[in-house]
Structure 1
Amino acid sequence: MKLHLVLAIVLLEIVSIFGANPKIISPVGKSYHIPTVKSNWFKANSHCYNIGMRLVRISSSEEHNAVVKVIKASGYKYDNFWTSATELGNIGYYWFHSGQNLQFKKWASGQPGGKDEHCMQLSRYTNFEWHDYPCTEVTRFVCETT
């Protein structure tokens, strides 16, 4: 009986850490995961790292479409999603984990444009085109592996 209780607690802990959503392999060869928790950009980076992944980086139109498809299939299509793009400590946006400037871009009209907005989200308001937001905003995020 105690063993069943311990296993149930361990399972609940695993679901709370990794989320109920499985990792999804996309046609572009990456594995995506959308955690059940919401976080600011900094904690989202940490969360992905702690589960052996990183915040998503989008390098092409095909990749952007694959990520949007995963978002829409996740049941969280009415949320915004952090990516790893930021302009913190830099002039211009770059992918946090690689330091590479954005080559492919899918900014919504008028973006980026916020004075205190230094981190990039996929925005539900513009069919998941890119928007800059304050890094402290709490929202969903997409983790990836390659």
Structure 2
Amino acid sequence: GWLFFSVSANHHLSKDGIRLSVCFVALFVHRTVGSIRSCPPGWTQFGSRCFSFNFQGKSWTDAENFCKSDGGNLASVHSEEEQLFLRDFIKKVTGEAKWAWIGGFDSVQEGVWMWSDGSIFDYKSWAPGQPDNADGIEHCLHMNFQDKWNDTPCSRLLPFLCSKNL
């Protein structure tokens, strides 16, 4: 929601016998967040973002487009805490450590990983020996490969994790 309020003050100035009245009006707009905002039904909050797991197998691109149509992106991961939350979240909703797309890709430039939501790729949780770009065609990132990340062909059909900001 939005909270609007205004502050006004009258100042009476006198210069050379002329009384000047100046009115200052300020409008402050403060966007309220936190306690009154929550994730939509079917989404789970962690930190300042909402996450959803989608069981339907899609290519990385189709999964990203699905997330965008729902107001988000494939999930980006920025800390060990987020990584563990997402791993546990997948286990909770599927009963296993299912492979799932998240938003990492290096299809623009090999070896330069980016997140589809545009955030900085500031955390990594690659499995040993990954990413390896096997056969030169692995440009998209999935999680839960030996409990970590792996690069794999973007055309592979996998379930996926979407995220969006609160």
> TM-score scaled to structure 2, two decimals?
0.68
Residue 116 (str. 1) matches residue 132 (str. 2): no
Q: In terms of Rg, which structure is larger?
A: 2
Task: Supply the AA of the counterpart residue of 1:42.
Answer: T
Structure 1 residue ranges without an equivalent (≥5):
1-20
Task: Supply the AA of the counterpart residue of 1:38.
Answer: G
Task: Give the distance between the partners of 2:124 and 2:97, measured in 1 at CA.
Answer: 22
Task: Give the distance between the partners of 1:111 and 1:25, measured in 2 at CA.
Answer: 29
User: Does structure 2 conserve the Cα–Cα contact (< 8 Å) formed by 1:79 and 1:139?
Assistant: no
Of the candidates 55, 64, 71, which is equivalent to residue 45 of structure 1?
A: 64
Deviation at residue 99 of structure 1 after TM alignment? 6.0
Q: Higher helix share goes to which structure? A: 1
Quote the residue 1:15 is aligned against: none
Quote the residue 1:68 is aligned against: 87
> TM-score scaled to structure 1, two decimals?
0.77
User: Does structure 1 conserve the Cα–Cα contact (< 8 Å) formed by 2:90 and 2:97?
Assistant: no
Deviation at residue 36 of structure 1 after TM alignment? 2.9
Deviation at residue 90 of structure 1 after TM alignment? 1.6
Quote the residue 1:9 is aligned against: none
Matched residue pairs, number? 122
Task: Give the distance between the partners of 1:51 and 1:132, measured in 2 at CA.
Answer: 25
Deviation at residue 38 of structure 1 after TM alignment? 1.2
Quote the residue 1:86 is aligned against: 105
Task: Give the distance between the partners of 2:67 and 2:96, measured in 1 at CA.
Answer: 20
Relative contact order (alpha carbons < 8 A, sep ≥ 6): 1 or 2 greater? 1
Q: Higher strand share goes to which structure? A: 2
The structure 1 segments of at least 4 consecutive aligned residues displaced by more than 2 Å after TM superposition are 76-79
Task: Supply the AA of the counterpart residue of 1:25.
Answer: Q
Q: Deviations over 1:49-94 (max 9, x none)?
A: 1111210000111111111121111115342111110001123111
Structure 2 residue ranges without an equivalent (≥5):
1-40
Task: Give the distance between the partners of 1:136 and 1:49, measured in 2 at CA.
Answer: 18
User: Does structure 2 conserve the Cα–Cα contact (< 8 Å) formed by 1:59 and 1:103?
Assistant: yes
Task: Give the distance between the partners of 1:29 and 1:76, measured in 2 at CA.
Answer: 25
Q: Deviations over 1:95-129 (max 9, x none)?
A: 122163x2211000000002210000003x412x0
Deviation at residue 43 of structure 1 after TM alignment? 0.2
